[in-house]
Amino acid sequence: MRIAVVGAGAMGSVYAGLLASAGHELWAVDPWHEHVRAIQERGLRVEGASGDRVVRIHATTDPAEVPDAELVIIATKAMDVGAACESVRILAGPKAPVLSIQNGLGAPDIAADRLAEDRVVVGVAGGFGASIVQPGHVHHHGLELLRLGERKGPATARVRAVADIWRAAGFNVQTSDDVDQVIWEKLIFNASFSGPCAVLGCTIGDVIADRPAWTVATRCAQEALDVARALGVAARVDDVSSYIRDFGLKIAGARPSVLLDVMAGRRCEIDFINGGVVRTGREIGVATPFNEAITALVKSREASQRGGVRAVPSSRSLGNARSADAQSAATARKARRPFP
């Protein structure tokens, strides 16, 4: 099958590499010239939880070079989905489903608005983490679970067909008859740590261990759960503190992507995570003061970092961070530009 991955950052490159290893014709479309050139010249190296391999894929900055794709995967950050859809219009075959895999709220809706209601399939990734080591080389941590569903209604034959493609490439995949439930269950966790970690410059474990920070995290999570319940979402969360703690302790040393983006002077997805809770709460009349404050603080830090990249104030976790992480962030900061 001819598959196009639009947005070949860390996660998109992992998707492309593993799907190509399963025998598919892969096209990676990304505006980062150095990354694209490295893939063209040396192949794409993917190493980490799935092993270490170099795969040959097609890579380009020009979507017009891609023959009609039979499956399109949008793997950009949430704020770049609208722009990515312009590339999708050019490269997607007439019947190709478009799989949107982003954090937070709203990205699949943006894709559906820009493309067509019936083109978009929703993906929710859990337990994945990836970083760019250097152009043409990505590292990933774990392949826990990818859940797929329709934007509205139960899983269909096309969702199950897409799921089979990912399973054959080594991913653990489930289909969902209620994708809103899946989205909100992940968002409740992300809202508790993405913003607070970015504000404090620390790991998930640091937030859990610090009583004031933990209070903020649990309040952000509770507000997200309150909004979900007001929407009628059947989130499977009984005690919010236990829910986020249990998941958080499994990845205590992790630094959320929002923090990594702030550190690197890149735009972050706060408007779709904590900011998504705030926006949705306002629409339905549910107050979200903790998420609102956290969103404002992260946006302030984001603006100051992008104005002149400075180090986030140190913490135990940042002090012990691997030099490879810093080099990766520096490489991405220098080379990447917003999609497309």
* Domain boundaries, position 228: 181-335
Q: How does pLDDT run across 201-216, given as a tens digit for each residue?
A: 999 999 999 999 999 9
What's the pLDDT band for 55 if we cut at 50, 70, 90? very high
Indicate if 26 and 144 belong to the same structural domain.
yes
Structure tokens at 196: 């607070």
CATH code of 85's domain? 3.40.50.720
What DSSP string runs through 270-314?
GGGTHHHHHHHHHHHT---HHHHHHHHHHHHHHHHHHHS--PPPP
Same domain for 140 and 200, yes or no, is no
Residue 3 parent element (H or E) = strand 2-6
In a domain, 327, yes or no: yes
Mean pLDDT (whole number) for 288-295: 99
Placement of tokens 């809706």 in the chain: 109
Counting Cβ atoms within 10 Å, is residue 167 exposed (0-12), middle (13-18) or buried (19+)?
middle
Domains contained in the chain, number: 2
Calpha distance 96→11 (Å, rounded): 21
In this structure, what DSSP letter does residue 92 have?
B
Mind listing the pLDDT tens digit for each residue in 106-160?
Answer: 999 999 999 998 999 999 999 888 899 999 999 998 778 999 999 999 999 999 9
**End position of a domain, from candidates 141, 160, 177:** 177
In a domain, 340, yes or no: no
| Amino acid, res. 83 | A
CA-to-CA distance for 210 and 313, rounded, in angstroms?
16
Distance CA 58, CA 29 (A): 9
